[in-house]
């Protein structure tokens, strides 16, 4: 994919509010570069008389393209279309400069059950790198395709893929004279959205627990901010913080036992940590200014946060007990909404440059700030659990949309629903396959 070209993928998604209500989600690759590893993904063999229930190769291709690490080769360049190991002629793929090849098949084995096989090859070493067979129900076909993408990604980069993870986000749609807000969870590519909470009042700040089984979030359904947690499997909801004033910005500790949050129960917005089981609170900051947006380091030893103690919002770091506070950002007049990379070596944040709000990365070894986006109003950046992609919210023609950027800034994309606004994305950790209840 050459820089400046646009790649469109349009699919129909069913909204959870009613089986008949549908919205179109368009995934638009707005920037890409040809520096990725050239990989050929052959359409999977299918013996049925109608189209296969899922185009597995298309899903894998879209996953790999979005990652920014690969440059899928256009299929019109293919010299052959192997479907079995014996069909692979390595010379055919060297001629079109492919370095890796994915082939496979899908077939119906029982009503509603399918068998998927795939193989991954290194073209220049002329060897198979991976090969698996899955037998799954129809509703697991897309998940299986994402699992194959994860295997391909890891085999070719040495790092885990994150295509089988999920994203949480907030949507707002007009209904009558008011708005409907929904906290939703979808696959990492925006497919299969499920509504977790529905409200006529704003919902904010979804945050995943480390095991991927719970979400913390803020609801205004009682006309003031209240912090909740919700179990995604059972649907059980608990009111965690409903003190007078601000209850906001929840962030789970890596062990899942504590939540950092912003409270103004003592008069000023400060950072607190709550033991989730006992509800015991510990106050970490004490200032006459606003301290907010805490985020834990992956090892649990530090917390970063936003504070205007220097006059304008900047990023600070402290020990998890509130000691040893130090300022991290010095470039620009506004830096906020920090979040750690999975390896703990950098932060993603929102930075203001020339009056515009962009997603950036701050390297913690030298405090160098790299701006990754060029849009005007970006917010809420969140790393994928492998650190390869950052999802964030932005604005397009007056509407809130989701977008993502590879962590090196080479590939950008937008997720756009046909109607409504989408805000506040949060990428899940590596999670289990869960059943959601509204």
Give the lowest-confidence range in 33-42, 370-379, 399-408: 33-42
Res 37 pLDDT > 90: yes
The residue with greater pLDDT, 385 or 5, is 385
Contacts of 334 (CB under 8 A, 6+ apart): 312, 313, 314, 350, 351, 352, 357
Q: How far apart are CA 362 and CA 337, in angstroms?
A: 12
Res 431 pLDDT > 80: no
Q: What is the average pLDDT across 376-393?
A: 94
At residue 32, the pLDDT reads 59
At residue 415, the pLDDT reads 80
Q: What is the average pLDDT across 42-66?
A: 92
Q: What is the average pLDDT across 52-76?
A: 92
Contact (Cβ atoms closer than 8 angstroms) between residue 333 and residue 346 = no
Q: How far apart are the first and last CA of the chain?
A: 39
Instruction: Compute the mean pLDDT over every residue in the chain, rounded to the nearest whole number.
Output: 89
Contacts of 91 (CB under 8 A, 6+ apart): none
Res 19 pLDDT > 70: no
Q: How far apart are CA 81 and CA 83, in angstroms?
A: 7
Give the lowest-confidence range in 2-11, 24-33, 134-143: 2-11
Closest C-alpha to 182, from 190, 192, 174, 172 = 172
Res 13 pLDDT > 50: no
Reported as a single tens digit per residue, the pLDDT across 297-356 is: 999 999 999 999 989 999 999 999 999 999 999 998 999 999 999 999 999 999 999 899
Sign of CA dihedral 106, 107, 111, 113: negative
At residue 324, the pLDDT reads 97
Res 433 pLDDT > 80: no
């Amino acid at each position: 994919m050459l820089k400046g070209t646009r790649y469109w993928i349009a699919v129909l998604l069913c909204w959870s509010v009613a089986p008949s209500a549908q919205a179109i989600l368009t995934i638009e690759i707005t920037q890409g570069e040809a520096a990725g590893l050239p990989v050929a993904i052959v359409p999977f063999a299918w013996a049925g008389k109608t189209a296969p229930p899922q185009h597995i190769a298309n899903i894998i291709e879209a996953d790999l393209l979005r990652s920014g690490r690969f440059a899928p080769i256009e299929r019109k360049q293919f010299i052959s279309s192997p479907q079995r190991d014996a069909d692979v002629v390595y010379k055919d793929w060297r001629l079109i400069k492919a370095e890796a090849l994915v082939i496979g098949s899908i077939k119906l084995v029982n009503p509603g059950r399918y068998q998927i096989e795939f193989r991954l090859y290194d073209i220049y070493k002329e060897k198979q790198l991976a090969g698996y067979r899955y037998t799954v129900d129809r509703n697991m076909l897309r998940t299986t395709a994402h699992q194959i993408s994860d295997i391909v990604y890891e085999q070719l980069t040495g790092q885990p893929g994150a295509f089988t993870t999920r994203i949480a986000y907030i949507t707002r749609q007009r209904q009558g004279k008011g708005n409907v807000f929904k906290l939703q969870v979808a696959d990492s590519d925006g497919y299969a959205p499920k509504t977790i909470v529905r409200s006529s009042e704003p919902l904010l700040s979804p945050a995943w627990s480390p095991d991927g089984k719970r979400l913390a979030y803020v609801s205004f359904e009682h006309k003031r901010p209240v912090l909740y947690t919700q179990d995604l499997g059972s649907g059980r909801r608990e009111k965690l913080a409903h003190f007078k004033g601000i209850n906001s910005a929840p962030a789970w500790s890596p062990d899942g036992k504590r939540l950092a949050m912003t409270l103004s129960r003592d008069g000023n917005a400060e950072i607190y940590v709550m033991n989730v089981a006992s509800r015991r609170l510990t106050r970490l900051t004490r200032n006459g200014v606003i301290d907010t947006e805490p985020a834990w380091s992956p090892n649990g030893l530090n917390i970063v946060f936003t504070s205007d103690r220097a006059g304008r919002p900047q990023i600070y770091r402290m020990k998890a007990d509130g000691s040893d506070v130090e300022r991290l950002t010095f470039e620009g007049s506004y830096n906020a909404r920090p979040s750690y990379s999975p390896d703990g070596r950098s932060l993603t944040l929102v930075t203001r440059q020339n009056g515009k709000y962009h997603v950036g990365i701050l390297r913690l070894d030298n405090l160098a700030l790299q701006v990754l986006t060029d849009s005007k109003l970006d917010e809420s950046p969140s790393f994928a659990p492998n650190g390869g992609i950052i999802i964030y919210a932005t604005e397009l023609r007056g509407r809130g949309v989701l977008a993502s950027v590879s962590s090196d800034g080479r590939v950008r994309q937008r997720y756009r629903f046909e109607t409504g606004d989408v805000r506040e994305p949060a990428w899940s950790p590596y999670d289990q396959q869960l059943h959601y209840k509204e």
